[in-house]
Chains A and B, each alone.
Chain A
Amino acid sequence: QVQLVQSGAEVKKPGASVKVSCKASGYTFTSYDINWVRQATGQGLEWMGWMNPNSGNTGYAQKFHGRVTMTRNTSISTAYMELSSLRSEDTAVYYCARACSGGSCYYDYWGQGTLVTVSS
């Protein structure tokens, strides 16, 4: 069965970076995009960007340009999302989700979420 398993909760200080992992299993990792979505407590879903594990190509939401980097290691079927220059407003649950490639797709599987807390 398809599974996306994310790394554990993180606590970071303002200005630091965080790297969240998302390990895929149950399907061919390079056949689907991985997207990242975040959700602050009590707030809605916010799309951060996509990555194609086959090519390594990425696309980021304008809001996160310059602060987010999405990468992968195909040998272990794992995607990564690194967010830098953290501020308190980045405190949120971060999700990875699987989607087809090319836009106009949907997220059929989601990770369990990773809580990132930014606090001094």
Chain B
Amino acid sequence: SYELTQPPSVSVSPGQTASITCSGDKLGDKYACWYQQKPGQSPVLVIYQDTKRPSGIPERFSGSNSGNTATLTISGTQAMDEADYYCQAWDSSAGYVFGTGTKVTVL
């Protein structure tokens, strides 16, 4: 099976930069995307195809993917960005795989 590993938690001060990693075997050879999920809500797509932002997602969200690691970066983090974040990729054997999830806390 294919696995994607994320740090359980990331803490960031308001206005600073938060980086969330997602590690998987040869992940850079696949497309990665990222979802934000706030308590009691459905997930929201924030990054797709490694680096692209859907309409309506603030520019402070950016992504990269190379080697075995995809990264979601939140620049100028705001209190409203406090949420759980999940990476996702498609594996030809396992299907769609989600990362383990990262809770971002804005202190």
Q: A interface vs B, CB < 8 Å?
A: 35, 37, 44-47, 49-50, 59, 61-62, 95, 103-108, 110-113
Q: Which residues of B contact A (CB under 8 A)?
A: 1, 30-31, 33, 35, 37, 42-45, 48-49, 54, 86, 88, 90, 92, 94-101
Q: How many A-B residue pairs have CB under 8 A?
A: 56
The reply to whether B100 and A105 contact each other, CB–CB distance below 8 Å, is no
What does DSSP make chain B's interface, helix, strand, loop or mixed?
strand
Find out whether the CB atom of B49 lies under 8 angstroms from the CB atom of A106: yes
Q: Are A45 and B86 in contact (CB under 8 A)?
A: yes
- Select from chain B the residue with minimum beta-carbon distance to A95: B42
Contact A104 B31 (CB under 8 A): yes
Given contacts A107-B45, A108-B45, is CB(A47)–CB(B101) below 8 Å? no
- The CA of A107 and the CA of B94, in the complex, are separated in Å by 17
CB distance from A65 to the nearest CB of B (A): 11
Closest Cβ of chain B: how far from A16's Cβ, in Å? 26
Docked complex Cα distance between A37 and B35 (Å): 13
Check B95 against A47 for contact (C-beta < 8 Å): yes
15 contacts between A and B (CB under 8 A): A35-B96, A44-B101, A45-B35, A45-B43, A47-B95, A47-B96, A50-B95, A61-B95, A62-B1, A95-B43, A103-B92, A107-B45, A107-B88, A108-B45, A111-B42
Q: Which residues of A contact B94 (CB under 8 A)?
A: 61-62
Given A104-B30, A104-B31: A44 in contact with B86 (beta carbons within 8 A): yes
In chain B, what residue has the closest Cβ to A46? Answer: B98
**Cβ of B48: which chain A residues have Cβ within 8 Å of it?**
106, 108
- For residue A28, give the distance in angstroms from its CB to the closest CB of chain B: 19
Is the CB–CB distance between B43 and A47 below 8 Å? no
Assembled-state Cα–Cα distance A87/B30 (Å): 34
CB atoms of A113 and B42 under 8 A apart: yes
